């Protein structure tokens, strides 16, 4: 293990034994041997036991304070934060999962400013097994903030390039489907069911069904279990010239009372407390995944909300009405207050009609059972396709009036 003399915005560490080999197998994390705990004199330590050595990098972010460790690549299957994290420690939470193609990420929330004082990954020369060890010590808030920041993406292409810009014909109608969450951000989790997995399945089915109509081109903001930042989701829609943006979710409330489908459109002011809570949860997705929010895409951070309300707003409202009507017509359950408003970041594109659909709530046993049922998902997909096609025709006819 080597001592870190100076903590910079990014520490890129490749253990010599790791760098000298070309590993073709993903390293597995051992939850039994691994631990994250506090020590004496304000120090904390991380010890991750891996089935083999892998390249990794460590950096930290501020507001809120987080330590980020990227691996190429670690398999976290079967590992939960409760397995390795000490209760009531200075490291208050741990999250891990896939982040970019070929890379996974661990995010540690810090209750106070701490920086690495030792980092290393010794590899057993006989077994090939490795232990990532990080020792953290307290520092001033000023020093922590001065060195915080994301490293350059030297080991993967910039996330915004994941969706390639495409040429669009004037008569094409393009829909961007956004399966919520992904990768290190699982979204809601109930009884072993992840929101991110269900929404990818539903989103893929919706895109395929739209394409089969012959009237629509459809794209997904993510095609696999990868993390995509909130700005990148909107940016990807612009790259393909999307005429419509639909974000799919199935959240959960602790009280378990929410159930049925709800469609959200953009507003500064949430229509109720539950909507405000959901928007806050969604808009924290980048923080949860350890993304540096400094210099966020102005398209999202400084959105032209007034413009969205003048033209795109009424069109989004019309789409929400069409979706809810068709969902009700096929007999799928709707929430008591089915159309709501909230400040979801993914709805803040000024020039693309956008809605966020809570297809159901994982906190509702009925909704959860429905979402796990392939026949029920097909029913919802059919309703969404019919509504989108009908809205497309109406929108073309009424758009000149909206602009007036």
Domain co-membership, 284 together with 261: yes
Say whether pLDDT at 23 is over 50: no
Residue 6 has pLDDT above 50, yes or no: no
| Domain endpoint, select from 114, 147, 180 | 147
- Answer whether residue 48 shows pLDDT above 80: yes
What pLDDT, on a 0 to 100 scale, did the predictor assign at position 344? 81
In this model, does residue 298 exceed pLDDT 50? no
Which residue segment(s) compose the domain that 302 sits in? 159-403
Q: Report the percentage of the chain scoring pLDDT > 70.
A: 82
Instruction: CATH number of the domain at 79, please.
Output: 2.60.40.3500
Shared domain for 140 and 200, answered yes or no, is no
Residue-level pLDDT at 255:
67
What's CA 82's distance to the chain center, in Å? 22
113 or 287: which leads in pLDDT: 113
Q: State whether 163 and 143 are in the same domain.
A: no
Please indicate, yes or no, whether residues 115 and 237 belong to a single structural domain of this protein: no
pLDDT band at 168 (very low <50, low <70, confident <90, very high): low
| Maximal CA-CA distance, the chain | 75
- pLDDT at residue 271, rounded to an integer: 64
- Which of 147, 173, 205 is the last residue before a domain boundary? 147
| Stronger pLDDT, 366 or 270, i.e. the higher one | 366
Of the candidates 87, 116, 147, which is a domain's last residue? 147
Report if residue 152 sits inside a domain.
no
Q: What is the pLDDT of residues 177-187, one digit of tens each?
A: 999 999 999 99
Model confidence pLDDT, tens digit, residues 133-165: 999 999 999 999 998 988 776 444 444 445 566
Is 90 exceeded by the pLDDT of residue 321?
yes
pLDDT in tens, 51-71: 999 889 999 999 899 999 999
Say if residue 18's pLDDT is above 80.
no
Q: On the CB side of 274, how many CA atoms lie within 13 Å of its CA?
A: 19
* Averaged pLDDT, 227-241: 90
The pLDDT confidence band at residue 285, using thresholds 50, 70 and 90, is confident
Asked if 48 and 97 touch (Cβ cutoff 8 Å), the reply is no
**pLDDT tens-digit series, residues 194-227:** 999 999 999 999 999 999 999 999 999 999 998 9
396 contacts: CB under 8 Å, gap ≥ 6: none
Residue 327 clears pLDDT 90, i.e. is over it: yes
Does residue 267 fall inside a structural domain?
A: yes
Residue 75 lies in a domain: yes
What is the phi/psi pair of residue 37, to 5°?
Answer: -150, 165
pLDDT of residue 89: 92
**CATH code: domain of residue 197:** 3.40.630.40
Query: Can you give the pLDDT at residue 165?
Result: 60
- Per-residue pLDDT, 164: 60
Q: Quick check: 315 pLDDT over 80? A: yes
What was the pLDDT predicted at 306?
Answer: 53
Do 238 and 332 belong to one domain?
A: yes
pLDDT of residue 400: 62
pLDDT tops 90 at residue 374: yes
Residue 9 has pLDDT above 60, yes or no: no
pLDDT for 81-102, tens place per residue? 988 998 889 999 999 988 887 8
**Whether the predicted pLDDT of 353 surpasses 80:** yes
Percent of the chain with pLDDT over 90: 52
Q: What is the 3-state secondary structure (H, E, C) of the chain?
A: CEECCCCCCEEEECCHHHHCCCCCCCEEEEEEEEEEEECCCCCEEEEEEECCCCCEEEEEECCCCEEEEEECCEECCCCCHHHHECCCCCEEEEEEEEEECCEEEEEEEECCCEEEEEEECCECCCCCCEEEEEEEEECCHHHHHHHCCCCCCCCCCCHHHCCCCCCCCCCCCEEEEEECCECCECCCEECCEEHHHHHHHHHHHHHHHHHHCCCCEEEECCCCCCCCCHHHHHHHHHHCCCCEEEEEECCCCCCCCCCCEEEEEECCCCCCHHHHHHHHHHHCHHHHCCCCCCCCCHHHHCCCHHHHHHHHHHHHHHHHHHHHHHHHHCCCCEEEEEEEEECCHHHCCCCCCEEEEECCCCCCHHHHHHHCCHHHHHHHHHHHHHHHHHHHHHHHHHHHHHHC
Residue 323 · residue 338 · CB < 8 Å: no
Q: What pLDDT score does 198 carry?
A: 96
Average per-residue pLDDT for the chain:
83
* Lowest-confidence region among 138-142, 311-315, 355-359, 372-376: 311-315
Q: Are 52 and 101 contained in the same domain?
A: yes
Q: Are residues 118 and 167 in the same domain?
A: no
- Assess whether 203 and 235 both reside in one domain: yes
Question: What's the pLDDT at 134?
Answer: 96
Q: pLDDT-derived band of residue 261, with 50, 70 and 90 as boundaries?
A: very high
229 & 284 share domain:
yes
Q: How far apart are CA 119 and CA 131, in angstroms?
A: 11
Based on the domain organization, do 209 and 258 belong to the same domain? yes
Location of structure tokens 């997909």: 381
Please say whether the dihedral angle defined by the alpha carbons of residues 14, 17, 21 and 23, taken in this order, is positive or negative. negative
Q: Domain for residue 153, yes or no?
A: no
Q: How many domains does the chain have?
A: 2
User: pTM for the complete prediction?
Assistant: 0.79
Q: Where does the pLDDT of residue 401 fall: very low under 50, low under 70, confident under 90, or very high at 90 and above?
A: low
């Amino acid at each position: 293990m080597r001592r870190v003399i100076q903590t910079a915005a990014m520490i890129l560490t490749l253990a010599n034994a790791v760098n000298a080999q070309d590993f073709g197998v993903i390293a597995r994390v051992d939850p039994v041997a691994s631990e994250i705990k506090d020590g004496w004199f304000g120090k904390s330590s991380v010890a991750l036991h891996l089935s083999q050595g892998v390249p990794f990098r460590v950096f930290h972010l501020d507001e809120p304070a987080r330590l980020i460790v990227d691996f190429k690549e670690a398999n976290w299957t079967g590992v939960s934060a409760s397995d390795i994290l000490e209760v009531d420690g200075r490291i208050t939470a741990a999250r891990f999962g896939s982040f970019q193609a070929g890379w996974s990420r661990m995010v540690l929330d810090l209750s106070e400013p701490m920086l690495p004082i030792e980092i290393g990954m010794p590899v057993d020369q006989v077994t090939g097994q490795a232990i990532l060890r990080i020792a953290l010590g307290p520092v001033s808030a000023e020093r922590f903030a001065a060195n915080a920041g994301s490293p350059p993406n030297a080991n993967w292409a910039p996330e915004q390039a994941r969706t390639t810009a495409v040429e669009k014909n004037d008569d094409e109608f393009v829909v961007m489907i956004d399966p919520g969450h992904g990768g290190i951000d699982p979204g809601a989790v109930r009884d072993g069911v992840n929101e991110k997995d269900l929404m990818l399945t539903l989103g893929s089915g919706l895109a395929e069904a739209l394409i089969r109509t012959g009237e629509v081109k459809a794209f997904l903001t993510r095609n696999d279990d990868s993390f995509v930042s909130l700005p990148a989701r909107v940016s990807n829609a612009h790259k393909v010239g999307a005429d419509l943006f639909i974000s799919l979710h199935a959240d959960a409330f602790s009280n378990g009372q929410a159930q049925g489908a709800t469609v959200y459109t953009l507003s500064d002011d949430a229509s109720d407390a539950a909507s405000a809570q959901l928007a806050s949860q969604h808009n924290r997705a980048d923080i949860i995944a350890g993304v540096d929010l400094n210099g966020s895409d102005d398209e999202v951070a400084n959105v032209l909300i007034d413009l969205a309300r003048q033209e795109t707003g009424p069109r989004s409202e019309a789409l929400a009405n069409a979706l809810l009507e068709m969902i009700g017509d096929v007999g799928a359950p709707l929430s008591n207050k089915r159309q709501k408003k909230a400040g979801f970041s993914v709805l803040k594109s000024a020039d693309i009609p956008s809605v966020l659909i809570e297809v159901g709530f994982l906190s509702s046993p009925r909704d959860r059972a429905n979402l796990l049922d392939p026949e029920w998902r097909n029913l919802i997909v059919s309703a969404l396709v019919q509504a989108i096609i009908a809205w497309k025709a109406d929108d073309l006819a009424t758009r000149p009036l909206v602009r007036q």
